[in-house]
A and B are shown apart, each in its own frame.
Chain A
Amino acid sequence: MPGFEPTHRVWQKLRANRAGLAGFALVSLYGLIALSVALGWAGQEWSLVSGERWESASSEHWFGTNQLGQDIFQRAIYSVRIAFEIGLLVALTSTLLGSVCGAISGWCADTWADDGVVFITGVLDSIPFYLFAAAVAFAFQASAWAMQIAMVATFWTTTSRLVRAEVMRLKNRDFVQSALAIGLPPHLVLLRHVLPNTGHILLAQAAMVFVAAIKTEVILSFLGLGVQDGVSWGLMLAESTQEVLVSQFNNHLAAAIPLLLLLLGFNLMIDALQDALDPRQGSA
């Protein structure tokens, strides 16, 4: 039957996808680093001036030091935590918002509630993102959350649109109608019978938002609209734009390579996930 891939088949396909597994392992590794930074086991000395400016790599400073004499390795490690913080927060919030709005909109298709949600997503999609982020930063001046607010406000619309389409499709399926026929109230029908079947969309979409959030942070931080105080790969790259002009590449590489690997891992994982969840593809 089209549209549903049994869970165990999904696992089979996922396990058979080597690139996807590699991606998953990579992302897990980063997750562990982020966790150990959050628990205070590593990367705590990111702001400490512990050496001279632009020291080269040594046993004391694994990646050398930056313009101010801060340890680049510490900063790169701490940035993993910041990236995960932003990614998780934005992915979870926009998935939640997108699935709730999308579900309501799809369930009440062709009513004022649906029109409202569709209109709002249309409006938000029409404003180029970085300008929207600039506007939000302007409106919430000095708020550390401006970046996250802008990201969530933009990223939830895609989730909402996908969930809406899926809910509209599911709503007319007999199993939903039969849940309604036994008199289950609509919110329970949505929760128990409809939303569990949108799980694959939510999972893939949340992962994509995570990636988008990390990439966007880099640009926004470079533009001065991102992380306000602290350190992130974006801020490190922004610092390094001056340093590379005088042949100091440590800061740049220490941010660019981990960022590239994390995004690559995530993209491999998402591709594998989408392949596995797509019932049109034959079994692996």
Chain B
Amino acid sequence: MAFLLRKLAHGLLLILGVTLVSFLLMVYFGPDQTYNLLGKNATAAQIQEIHQQLGYDRAFTSRYIDYLHDLFTLQLGASNSNGEKVIDLLWRSLPITLALMLPGFIIGNLLGAGLGMLAAWHRNRRLDRLISGVSATGMSISFLIIVIVLQVLLCTPQGLNLFPARGWQVTDLPSYLYYVTVPTLSLVFITLGYNTRFFRAVFVEELGREHIRTVRAFGASPAQIMGRHVLKNSLPAVLTRVLFSIPLVIVTGSLVLETFFGIPGIGKVSFDATTNGDQPVLQAVVALTAVLFVVMQTLADLAYRLADPRVA
């Protein structure tokens, strides 16, 4: 119980911290929005009115408290570029991002776990060297190059030209598969090196333990050992990493993939907001993802505690 309270207090503090950072960067020290909203030929009265509206004339704490209030009641304002309410914009784009990223995220983790397991089982033998070498190379390749190469290979007349180079007109399952395949492959390749390395390290650690070596010596089959002992014991570590990486992969991955493939999800929305200097949209995305990350982190801590009561 004390543990729960401590973790919650810690999470709340972090939420205050991340919102403070986003407030400082994007609102308090952020660029003056006056002329963006009014145009160049504003009258003095208009300027004063907008200053009052934006709170430029008020004290730091009262502005920060208002900011928090707006954030947690989801009063996020309207986009500067097209006037759409930010909350509607996010609700519209979030499902697209999830639909886009989830298959790649899941396949990437499963494949990484499989390869990591294979490498760990054959530790320091040729197969392990091969897998480790390929994943090290994979980590040396820039995301952008992977995406460009896949696009050329699969989506252009120079390559196989099987899938669309850009866009997202999803109505049913075939059209979903048509648009989601190349981004999914990209995400899998981008994350595979990191995933394999992580899972290999976890499984190597677990396989090295005394009780596993004992079971191995008694001649249990690889499947039994992996399934009953290794997987079960490494679950907390794996779960933590997966939970932790959800916000990061979804946000970072979607920023690059959606921009590249022209898919109107959260990533594209944030990208457009960045290029247009659309402050309400950008600050909502930054603050909300950071808060989401903290929540995930706290949940992961709690899950870890439940799975492994020894952790103090």
Contact = CB atoms under 8 A, between A and B. Distances in A.
A and B touch in the complex (CB under 8 A): yes
Interface of A: 119-120, 122-124, 126-132, 134-139, 141, 215, 218-219, 222-225, 234, 237-238, 240-241, 244-245, 247, 252, 256, 259-260, 263-264, 266-268, 271
A215 B158 CA distance: 27
A134 B136 contact: no
A260 B140 contact: yes
Contacts of A267: 136, 139-140
B252 interface: yes
Interface string B1-26: 00000000000011001101110111
A244 B153 CA distance: 10
Given A126-B294, A131-B286, A263-B140, A136 B21 contact: no
A247 B157 CA distance: 9
25 contacts: A122-B17, A126-B17, A126-B18, A126-B290, A126-B293, A128-B289, A130-B252, A130-B256, A134-B270, A134-B286, A139-B29, A141-B277, A215-B142, A219-B256, A224-B274, A234-B144, A237-B145, A238-B144, A244-B152, A245-B165, A256-B148, A260-B140, A264-B137, A264-B140, A267-B136
Given A138-B279, A219-B142, 16 more contacts: A119-B17, A127-B286, A131-B251, A131-B285, A134-B274, A138-B26, A139-B31, A215-B143, A218-B142, A223-B271, A237-B142, A240-B148, A245-B152, A245-B156, A256-B145, A260-B141
Nearest to B275: A224
B206 to A, nearest CB: 18
Main secondary structure of the interface of B (DSSP, over half): helix
Contact of B13 (A119, A237, A256): A119
Nearest to A141: B31
B21 to A, nearest CB: 6
State the 10 A-B residue pairs at the shortest beta-carbon distance, nearest first.
A123-B17, A263-B140, A128-B251, A139-B25, A264-B140, A134-B274, A127-B290, A135-B25, A256-B145, A218-B142
B145 A259 contact: yes
B240 to A, nearest CB: 14
